[in-house]
Amino acid sequence: MRFIMANEEGYHGEKAPQYPPSEGTYTQDAPTYSQAPPPINEASKPHKDESGNWVTFEERFKVEKPKWNDLWALFLFLGVLGGFIAVSGICLHAYASTRSFFGGGIYGGNEDFSLNTNTIILLVFVVIIGFALSMAYFILARMFTKQFIWITGILNVVLGFATAIYYFAEHYYSAAIVFLIFAVFGAFCFYSWISRIPFATLMLQTIMDVTRTHPSVLLVSLLGALVASGFGAWFSVTLVAVYVKYNPTADSQSCGTTAGGECSHAKLIGLIIFITFCGYYISEVIKNIVHTTISGVYGSWYFCSRSAQGMPRWPALGAFKRSMTYSFGSISFGSLIVSLIQLLQQLAGWGEQAARQDNNMIAVALICVLRCFIALLNWAVQFFNHYAYCYIALYGSAYIPAAKETWRLIKDRGFDALINDCLIDPVLNLGATFVAYVTALFAYLFLRYTAPAYNSSGSYYAPVVGFAFVIGMQICNIATVPIKSGTATFFTAMAHDPEVLRMSYPDLWNQIVRLYPRVQERVHS
């Protein structure tokens, strides 16, 4: 695989974008230019080819033989989605048939053994709050780009410590300790990143400038957040319905009354694990479809905006079509790996909770070590996948070839250059954690002050607050994908073809060279 070059043949032999000749002088130590950047002209706008047809994204970023990649993963995802729909339908039908027993509002339930309508209302509020905060966070990044990193870091640290202090005051020590650890770690990370803020600010300003000239990025972000929020609400209702349908309690009104078999603890646990995996998997696929779609827009901007051939027409639509057809299997493949790791992380959390209830401190310590290892693995795989999807978006690659290209990029640039020199992703993760803090705290307060009978002993605080935390974080992660996608695509394109940026945007190039000199070196083939 080869990226389009400014002075060579393009990908798969396609004619490369042509740029105006530069009359300025350039040196490795002090790049200078005697002429202004080439002006934006009609060539930068969507245009028609010699046959009178509009030039499209598919024509600009061709593959030799467009084909469906990683079909097995595509069919696996469809099977998982079908399974989730089936479980949801059966359990929601059972819930509807006994709805009067479980209540029609916050205080109306008569049972004290399982989640009920109170929980559904709680989680719907969690979805609404998560969506509203995520959209506000994205707008904040767009309006106050320079202050964005500082505001995010400070708010995250303050709210993290405030949440931990509140839980200590309420004697909810397990949650207080977890949030305190998160807050201390977040404060340390933010302090260590201060020296790298100038480069991150420049990158963020560049990415946000592209969103202003290509509003389709904002539209894709909004639609992605809405879809993610809708799925979050569906998942929340299904979670409660599964508890209602399969909880083998003598007082249950729905066991055996509808399709789906008799109740048992084994079925309940198995289905909770299954729908949890479905929640992670489907959310990851939604997020990565948004990612690859927006990567197509940023790739078109980088390689085509100042070229003689101009931008392709409707790049977001073209990238979305590729994501939903030829590349859907590759997206499902990468998402599957992350989802399995996230499921293991969730299972380890449940195991730690059970060990604490049994006062088995040795098991708690061992599981804590395991959770740290799984968390590190989850971070590494998500980081790796994020760059691999850039190759998938622009070139329609299968997942394994894209992963090989990503590994070559990492070996050449090193983890330090990709992670530490560009800290936008970590800052956005802090923002997602901020949203998750708020949704988790809301869930706790809701349970505390509505006092549903099923939580009279406090045993449902941990799972409900945990699900609220995950839902809030997933929604915010999807809402901020445009910024992450732009950063990853821009960084990857610079690493492979810095000459395109030097010829197209020399002023921006000069600023980047001052803050990140290694941009002048191309990744070795």
**Residue-by-residue DSSP string for 51-118:** TSPBPBHHHHT--SS-----HHHHHHHHHHHHHHHHHHHHHHHHHHHTHHHH-SSSS----SSS--HH
Amino acid at 385: N
Separation of alpha carbons 417 and 510, rounded Å = 18
465 pLDDT more than 90: no
pLDDT at 84: 94
40 pLDDT more than 70: no
pLDDT at 422: 52
Average pLDDT, integer, range 403-432: 68
Average pLDDT, integer, range 142-155: 76
Nearest partner of 17 among 487, 512, 387, 499, judged by Cα: 499
359 pLDDT more than 90: no
Domain assignment present for residue 401? The answer is yes
In sequence order, the 6+-apart residues with CB closer than 8 A to the CB of 402 are 330, 388, 389, 391, 392, 395
pLDDT at 316: 86
- For 248-271, what is each residue's pLDDT tens digit? 764 555 565 555 567 777 888 889
Domain assignment present for residue 2? The answer is no
pLDDT at 163: 80
pLDDT at 106: 47
Between the CA of residue 43 and those of 14, 116, 235, 506, what are the distances in Å? Answer: 18, 60, 47, 18
Average pLDDT, integer, range 322-336: 91
Q: How confident is the model at residue 52 (pLDDT cuts 50, 70, 90)?
A: low
Domain assignment present for residue 107? The answer is no
Nearest partner of 153 among 176, 123, 187, 120, judged by Cα: 187
Separation of alpha carbons 494 and 509, rounded Å = 10
Separation of alpha carbons 228 and 287, rounded Å = 8
Calculate the average pLDDT of the chain. Answer: 75
Domain assignment present for residue 134? The answer is yes
Average pLDDT, integer, range 109-122: 60
pLDDT at 204: 80
**Span of 103-107, 142-146, 347-351, 470-474 with lowest mean pLDDT:** 103-107
In sequence order, the 6+-apart residues with CB closer than 8 A to the CB of 49 are 55, 59
Share of the chain above pLDDT 70, in %: 75
405 pLDDT more than 70: yes
Domain assignment present for residue 49? The answer is no
314: left (phi over 0), alpha (psi -120 to 50) or beta: left
pLDDT at 525: 53
Q: What are residue 48's DSSP bridge partners?
A: 54
Q: How confident is the model at residue 334 (pLDDT cuts 50, 70, 90)?
A: very high
> What are the respective helix, strand and coil percentages of the chain, to the nearest 5?
75, 0, 25
Q: How confident is the model at residue 416 (pLDDT cuts 50, 70, 90)?
A: very low
Task: Please give the residue range of the domain that contains residue 281.
Answer: 70-86+117-239+262-520
Whole-model pTM: value is: 0.73
Domain assignment present for residue 499? The answer is yes
In sequence order, the 6+-apart residues with CB closer than 8 A to the CB of 408 are 523
Domain assignment present for residue 26? The answer is no
Q: Are 474 and 283 in contact (CB under 8 A)?
A: yes
Number of domains comprising the chain: 1
Separation of alpha carbons 155 and 144, rounded Å = 15
11 pLDDT more than 60: no
- For 159-216, what is each residue's pLDDT tens digit? 778 888 887 887 767 667 777 887 888 788 778 777 777 877 788 888 888 877 788 8
Domain assignment present for residue 205? The answer is yes
φ and ψ of 56, to 5 deg: -110, 170
